[in-house]
């Protein structure tokens, strides 16, 4: 996927759901993974032409895993001329050593988002951009259906009343395969997750299930995402 192709996806999502308003200060939550770095690249490039002028910053929540190196992300932010902040935390120690969570992902995600939002507020940010791609929305739908008994997925724009922040998902139309292609084409500095349960979660199980169904049914992703968009997202 080229940068032009990425920007076409992102601009359409931003315009369809009014993600950006004039004067917004937007923070991209950068984990070091492919999706957050692609979001950062797209948001940085889109500053040049989007009708709503906005400023951009990047924030990484350091969970405290040994060996996690943020230097490549910092260098990339410098290249994009995007201010970069690293928030040190003890989340890994709390989740795995102190609490010894049987389901570490839920607590980790809650604490990570809290740390990100707190840092965004301190920076005067109005919106936080997450790197959820189209596949993530599909996976979240099936996770919610199978494990919570409800039909739900990530919303394009979420208002957090307690913090007065909006969370936006400008990558929501981008298939994961295109994200992978973009990362390879432009050599983004992806950092492997140091989390010990990475790749062995319920989300990974759903991801494998979706992959199997994709092989069995023609245009599976387009049909499922179309249904999600018509019945869940566009009715919010």
Q: What is the pLDDT of residues 147-169, one digit of tens each?
A: 999 999 999 999 998 889 999 99
pTM for this entry = 0.93
Angle at 163 between CA 133 and CA 82, to 5 degrees: 55
Q: What is the mean predicted confidence (pLDDT) over 83-107?
A: 89
What integer pLDDT is reported at residue 181 of this predicted model? 97
DSSP label at residue 233: I
β-bridge mates for residue 87, sequence order:
61
CATH classification for the domain delimited by 3-233, as one of 3.40.50.2300, 3.40.50.620, 3.30.540.10, 3.40.50.300: 3.40.50.620
| End-to-end Cα separation, the chain, in angstroms | 30
Please check whether residue 42 is in contact with residue 11, taking contact to mean a CB–CB distance below 8 angstroms. no
15-29, 89-103, 189-203: segment of lowest average pLDDT? 189-203
Place 132 in a pLDDT band, splitting at 50, 70 and 90: very high
Please check whether residue 121 is in contact with residue 163, taking contact to mean a CB–CB distance below 8 angstroms. yes
Q: Which residues contact 224 (CB under 8 A, 6 or more apart)?
A: 138, 141
14-28, 92-106, 120-134: segment of lowest average pLDDT? 92-106
Residue 113's closest CA among 69, 151, 154, 173? 154
Place 236 in a pLDDT band, splitting at 50, 70 and 90: low
E strand or H helix that includes residue 58: strand 54-62
Please check whether residue 236 is in contact with residue 152, taking contact to mean a CB–CB distance below 8 angstroms. no
Report the DSSP pairing between strands 165-168 and 157-160: antiparallel
Torsion angle of alpha carbons 149, 154, 155, 159, nearest 10°? 100
Place 235 in a pLDDT band, splitting at 50, 70 and 90: low
Please check whether residue 39 is in contact with residue 28, taking contact to mean a CB–CB distance below 8 angstroms. yes
What integer pLDDT is reported at residue 26 of this predicted model? 97
β-bridge mates for residue 129, sequence order:
28, 168
pLDDT higher than threshold 80 for residue 106: yes
Distance between CA atoms of residues 4 and 25, nearest Å: 23
């Amino acid at each position: 996927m080229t940068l032009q192709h990425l920007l076409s996806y992102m601009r359409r999502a931003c315009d369809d759901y009014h993600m950006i308003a004039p004067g917004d200060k937007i923070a991209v939550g950068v984990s070091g993974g492919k999706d957050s770095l692609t979001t950062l690249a797209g948001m940085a490039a889109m500053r040049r032409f989007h009708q709503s002028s906005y400023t951009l910053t990047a924030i990484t929540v350091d969970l405290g895993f040994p060996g996690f190196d943020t230097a490549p992300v910092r260098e990339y932010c410098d290249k994009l001329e995007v201010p970069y902040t690293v928030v040190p935390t003890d989340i890994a120690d709390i989740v795995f050593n102190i609490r010894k969570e049987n389901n570490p992902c839920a607590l980790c995600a809650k604490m990570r988002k809290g740390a990100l939002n707190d840092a965004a507020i301190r920076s005067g940010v109005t919106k936080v951009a997450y790197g959820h791609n189209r596949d993530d929305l599909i996976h979240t739908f099936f996770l919610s259906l199978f494990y919570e008994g409800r039909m739900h997925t990530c919303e394009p724009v979420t208002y957090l009343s307690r913090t007065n922040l909006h969370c936006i998902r400008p990558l929501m139309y981008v298939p994961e395969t295109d994200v992978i292609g973009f990362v390879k084409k432009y050599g983004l500095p992806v950092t492997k997750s140091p989390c010990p349960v990475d790749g062995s979660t319920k989300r990974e199980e759903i991801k494998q299930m979706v992959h199997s169904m994709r092989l069995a049914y023609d245009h599976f992703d387009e049909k499922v995402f179309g249904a999600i968009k018509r019945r869940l997202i566009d009715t919010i």
